[in-house]
Chain A
Amino acid sequence: MISEPHFIPLVQAAIPRFSTYAPNHEQQGCILHPPATPLMIAAGPGSGKTTVLVLRALRLVFVNGWLPEQIVLTTFTRKAADELGARLIDWGLRLKNHLSTTPPQPTPAGFMQWLDTIDINRFVTGTLDSICEELLTTLRDPTDPAPVLVEGFVGNGILVRNALFPNQVHSDPNLDAYLASFTFNGTPPGNFGEKTVICRTLLDRFVHDVVNLNQYAAHAMHQAARQRLVACAASYRQFMTDGHRIDFALLEETFLQRLQQGRLQRFTDNLRALLVDEYQDTNPLQEQIYFTLIQQTGRSFTIVGDDDQSLYRFRGATVELFRDFRQRFVQQVPGQPQPHLEYLITNYRSTPPIVSFFNNFIQNDPAFQTARVQPAKPPIVHQWAANPHAPPRTANPIPVLGMFRGSADILANDLSSFLADVFRGPGRVIDVNGQPITIRRDANGGDFGDAVLLSHTVNEFASQFGNKSPRERLPRLLRTRLGRLQPPVEVFNPRGRLLRDVPVVQQLLGTILDCIDPNAAMEGTLSLRAEPQRYFARWRQEGAAFVATNPAPSAPHTLAQFVQAWRSRTPQGGVMHNWPDDWPLLELCFKLMSWLPMLRDDPEGQVYLEAVSRAIAQAATFSPYRSLIRRQAPHGDHSVKAAIRDILVPIAESSVDVDEEIMPHVPHSRFPMMTIHQAKGLEFPLVIVDVASDYTGDYAAQRFRRFPDNPSSVQNMEDDLAPFCSIGPLRQTRTGLQRSFDDLVRLYYVAYSRPECVLMLVGVDKCLSQNTKIRHVATGWRSDGTWSWQSPIVNNHPLFLI
């Protein structure tokens, strides 16, 4: 081991990025804080929290002599976990190699042997769920089956088939009335798909919030509905247990139970340190897991987070657990020292104008300040302020830009022109206080991938009403305009359209439908809801239109002939004389790739294909015909109906999500668009935040996204469950409406703190007019209805308009 004072010099000597600038004073305080005292780190955006977490873990190894396999680091996403793991390995190996070539002098006896025992790969890193899954699998009893984790689509399929239908959820007006509080617009769920989503959220909440279901079911208001939901939860749980299945909520609950029963002793005996990243998005069940681990082991505990960046309330995240961590820890884990609080406030990511902008934004509403960590955190400071000798990341930092136009259409034109100037042309010149500054791409291969469009939602179309064509939103308009540039610029926006709306997916699914169910003969016998009916018709239309184009290859036969052969169940040539007894639907899907080049050759097409093929493969786990199309009656018809009901209906009802994480690289030439939630933890040189392209008037239906009148469905659900769970009173220290405002402030704070060089807010200019009625948290409105960007003088907004 090395002594503590030698650790930072070792880091500087062994890891090139620290050779000139050591971790700053705040970071060193966190890295070197004594492990016996729990540590809470409130880390602002761009302040190097991953660096601190990694170096603290490495310090525990090289200074305290603990083995990497005794140190657990959890974070919120797989991507963040991968990054954490990558840095641990890279930096850990550098430290180890440095010590093996340059051991401390005099070298303590046994030093090299000790160094040999360190296997840097063995840090336990991952999301809490992935670590729970791994431990429940490896530490299970000899005759226990390994649990199988089921996710979204399958979980919902199981829920519908084995819990909701058996408990008559589809025909219960009492339940509809109860669920109305949790819908988008306060009316009963419009269709069964929406009802399923709400029931799923409630069932997950029961577990995450550790709800007392007996009390919940006994409550007088909506009692029948509550009892039905509790019955659903029991049916679902039973089915999952019988089939060795587990979902994310049950996984955490099972882990906690095994922990409390002492059945994970091989893990707890070995644990020396627990470091938790993104603690602001912890839910009450996860908090219990962490506290139980520390209670049982008494080991070192470090949490890192930023209450201002908590975004996942809708998944059960409870920011108050971070805000009040020190008090809660002392109350719930007796015998442990009072946690120590450290702040990381030096920002290394953004330019001074951007830091100043998001600092002002987070402090704008006095009503929000009491929702933050107390005592009040110091504001974020730019690295130049903290260290005047730090190298400027960019010369001539430019002010925060604003592009606001009369309509989204004009905005899209001007924005695409701006982007074309920056990334394809000589740059865009802006005049700042008489000084022209040219914003241009990096000379060494800068491209559209250096920018991003962030928005609350990146849907390319607004919701459809009746038979009117849906309105094109800014992401769609931008896609069109960028596509008209020469050469055209492609957009990467896999979340911009629902899977069911992607043209190539419509062609694929329409052709599949025509193959397995010609003339909709089986579809017509099913009682389908309106949405699948509408989409099936559209898909069939798109499929037929595609087949009519006679796409290559057309030899030895055309796609039309292939489809006809399927329709008549007549094999085409080859060695097969009779139509097989059964045929995997997945194989039909893969054969159709022959005619759909985007699906086989475009990385983005693979994202869509993966989602469709995953739906088909996973349906095999609960669908009676296991995604096979049978030949002989009556199974032929039944298997087609099962495929429609269990695979195609969920896609038509948007129950199947794409997973863009499977795409290892987004081509640098594509312009990415993403939701603010997706952008959490990321940084881009140029960030364009769409704050107001949708808001042309003060429409009540849009207010929840900018200046809510009422608590949202998420807050309503929290309040409904509050009397039956211990976390309820803490959440309700702020009203539902206050929490709705808080969430909007945090959302835009995350967006505004992503850029490195340039931040640009865009929207429709009505939002900025002096007498606007369009109130919006993102444009400086406070929850009391005052507008900081307006008063005391006209046009007081902090944007440099272009």
Chain B
Amino acid sequence: MALTRKNEREVVPQYSLTGDLLSFLRCGLQYRYLNGSSLPPSRPVQLWFGEFIHGVMESAFRIWSSSTPPPAFPWPYNQTPPPPAEPPAGRLLHDIGVIGETVEGTLRAKGTNPRSYAVRDNAYIRAVRAVNELGPHLFPLVSVAEEKVIGTRSIPASPPGQPPARSTLYELHGIMDVLTNVQLGAAPTSNVIREAIQTACPGCSGSYEVIVDYKGSRRPEASAANNSYWQVHDWQVQTYAWLRTRQPHSLPVAAGVLLYINELAPGRSDLVELKRAMSAGTADVVPVAGSQDAYLISTWQPRDAIPHLSLTFRLARAIRVIPVTPATQGVAATQFDSVVSRIEICAAHEATAGTIMQHWSPCGDAETCTACDFRHFCPSPHPQTPGYVPGAPEAP
């Protein structure tokens, strides 16, 4: 009597657009450790900043939308000092210091802390600007906040000779804010987000939606390269749009707006990158020639204080509008299908061989590898030199 084979569990694997697919594109091996095994990063600086900004903006919007009338901008900011000092007395509920303190408390309870007081101060500066500079334009436009979108797609068949995926389907998740033509039409023409959308999508008419996502990073340089941040962010928006259109009662998505929060209060490394991209011709938003902003940037050196760039310029850098059509959605979603297929093939190889490293390809860029906890034994860290053999790491 032959035994049967053990049935594989029925699964429809779940993938998050930002948490899984973008991570895998950054580096396959790092993805395996961080997402596959849930290993926590040793220095979750970026994680803390991203979650802090999202948390503050989400809470600020909840307060704004639940109050009648909403608190007028600018909202006060009285930061909570480090212990043992007491928080300032008499702060209002919409004080950004109070909102930030609540968000920080939540992150602290999850074990995520800012690396230093400087990092924390910097995050507050950006949070204050995000609320007080973007909020007046963004909040009145939001129709649905923190909308969870889910869609099911087919996993492409594995190429010949490669193992099959666990399932023929996968589930894709994302979270977004949604704007509609109704709110956009009612907004004053001075609304910079409305203006940016109209400029990028002059043909928008009828009933439509615009989706919004925050990025706790600088605006990437424009690039057509497949794995560049610029391109991947575009695909993300397009795929979010596809997901949104899967939801019952949704309207066609005309555009996506990405908000690069670092640009509201650029730091030293942001300015270095901006200057480099400007000289390389890859910065898509640059100051008007001869303007005060152009002068400040061109004369700025890394040892100098951060210059006071104009609000107009900073908002222009922060807001990126990506036109969306069914065709562009289809192209982007197909790109992600192939990423899922690659992940599934890696997982299947690992399951067969019982080993990890040879099946998950390391492919990080300089920024990814520098901050990676697994760079010490990575067989191919940036710049991926042929014949590289990892040596012993140095103490500490």
Interface set of A (CB-CB < 8 Å, partner B): 67, 79, 82-83, 85-87, 89-90, 93, 116-122, 138, 142-143, 145-146, 148, 150, 243-245, 393-398, 422, 437-446, 449-451, 490, 515, 553-559, 562, 565-566, 569-574, 576, 579-580, 583-584, 586-591, 593-595, 600-603, 606-607, 609-610, 613-614, 616-621, 626, 662, 664-665, 667-670, 683-686, 756-758
Return the chain A residue nearest B170 by Cβ.
A89
A232-B5 Cα distance, complex, nearest whole Å: 51
> Cβ of B6: which chain A residues have Cβ within 8 Å of it?
449-450, 668, 684-685
A556-B396 Cα distance, complex, nearest whole Å: 15
Judge whether B248 and A117 touch: CB under 8 Å: yes
A90-B392 Cα distance, complex, nearest whole Å: 48
A590-B393 Cα distance, complex, nearest whole Å: 10
A116-B108 Cα distance, complex, nearest whole Å: 43
B299 within 8 A of A: no
Most interface-central of A143, A441, A609 (chain B CB within 10 A): A143
Most interface-central of B11, B63, B109, B389 (chain A CB within 10 A): B109
> Cβ of B377: which chain A residues have Cβ within 8 Å of it?
593-594, 600
> Cβ of A82: which chain B residues have Cβ within 8 Å of it?
9, 11
Judge whether A662 and B38 touch: CB under 8 Å: yes
In-complex Cβ contact of A243 among B38, B108, B248 (8 A): B108
Judge whether B63 and A620 touch: CB under 8 Å: no
B60 to A: closest C-beta gap in Å: 9
Judge whether A556 and B37 touch: CB under 8 Å: no
Interface residues on B, range: 35 or more
Return the chain A residue nearest B9 by Cβ.
A83
Judge whether A603 and B373 touch: CB under 8 Å: no
Judge whether A668 and B1 touch: CB under 8 Å: no
B246 within 8 A of A: yes
Most interface-central of B11, B62, B389, B393 (chain A CB within 10 A): B393
List 3 tightest A-B contacts by C-beta distance, closest first: A665-B351, A565-B395, A617-B40
Given A587-B373, A606-B37, A613-B39, A438-B1 contact (CB < 8 Å): yes
A397-B355 Cα distance, complex, nearest whole Å: 37
> Cβ of A683: which chain B residues have Cβ within 8 Å of it?
7
In-complex Cβ contact of A620 among B5, B113, B354 (8 A): B113
A391 to B: closest C-beta gap in Å: 12
Judge whether B105 and A244 touch: CB under 8 Å: yes
> Cβ of A86: which chain B residues have Cβ within 8 Å of it?
10-12, 167
A602-B33 Cα distance, complex, nearest whole Å: 11
In-complex Cβ contact of B4 among A90, A603, A757 (8 A): A757
A449-B208 Cα distance, complex, nearest whole Å: 53
Other than A444-B5, A600-B356, give 11 A-B pairs with Cβ distance below 8 A.
A119-B247, A138-B146, A143-B93, A150-B109, A565-B394, A576-B394, A594-B393, A613-B39, A614-B40, A617-B40, A621-B111
Main secondary structure of the interface of B (DSSP, over half): loop
Given A86-B12, A602-B356, A121-B152 contact (CB < 8 Å): yes
Judge whether B152 and A93 touch: CB under 8 Å: yes
Given A244-B109, A601-B357, A143-B4 contact (CB < 8 Å): no
> Cβ of A441: which chain B residues have Cβ within 8 Å of it?
2-3
A395-B2 Cα distance, complex, nearest whole Å: 8
CB-CB contacts below 8 Å: B246-284 with A: 246-249
Judge whether B42 and A587 touch: CB under 8 Å: yes
CB-CB contacts below 8 Å: B349-384 with A: 350-357, 373-374, 376-377
Judge whether A590 and B37 touch: CB under 8 Å: no
Judge whether A90 and B1 touch: CB under 8 Å: no
Judge whether B376 and A590 touch: CB under 8 Å: yes
Judge whether B351 and A664 touch: CB under 8 Å: yes
A41-B57 Cα distance, complex, nearest whole Å: 46
> Cβ of A574: which chain B residues have Cβ within 8 Å of it?
394
Return the chain B residue nearest A592 by Cβ.
B393
Return the chain A residue nearest B11 by Cβ.
A86
Judge whether B37 and A662 touch: CB under 8 Å: yes
Interchain Cβ contacts under 8 Å between A and B, 11 examples: A89-B171, A119-B248, A554-B392, A569-B396, A589-B42, A593-B376, A614-B40, A617-B40, A665-B350, A668-B351, A756-B3
> Cβ of B2: which chain A residues have Cβ within 8 Å of it?
394, 440-443, 446
In-complex Cβ contact of A553 among B38, B41, B93, B391 (8 A): B391
Given A446-B2, A664-B347, A756-B4, A571-B395 contact (CB < 8 Å): yes
Judge whether B392 and A558 touch: CB under 8 Å: yes
> Cβ of A589: which chain B residues have Cβ within 8 Å of it?
42
B390 within 8 A of A: yes
Judge whether A562 and B393 touch: CB under 8 Å: yes
Judge whether B169 and A89 touch: CB under 8 Å: yes
In-complex Cβ contact of A602 among B36, B38, B355 (8 A): B355
> Cβ of B394: which chain A residues have Cβ within 8 Å of it?
557, 562, 565, 571-574, 576
Most interface-central of B36, B43, B169, B396 (chain A CB within 10 A): B396
Judge whether B352 and A626 touch: CB under 8 Å: no
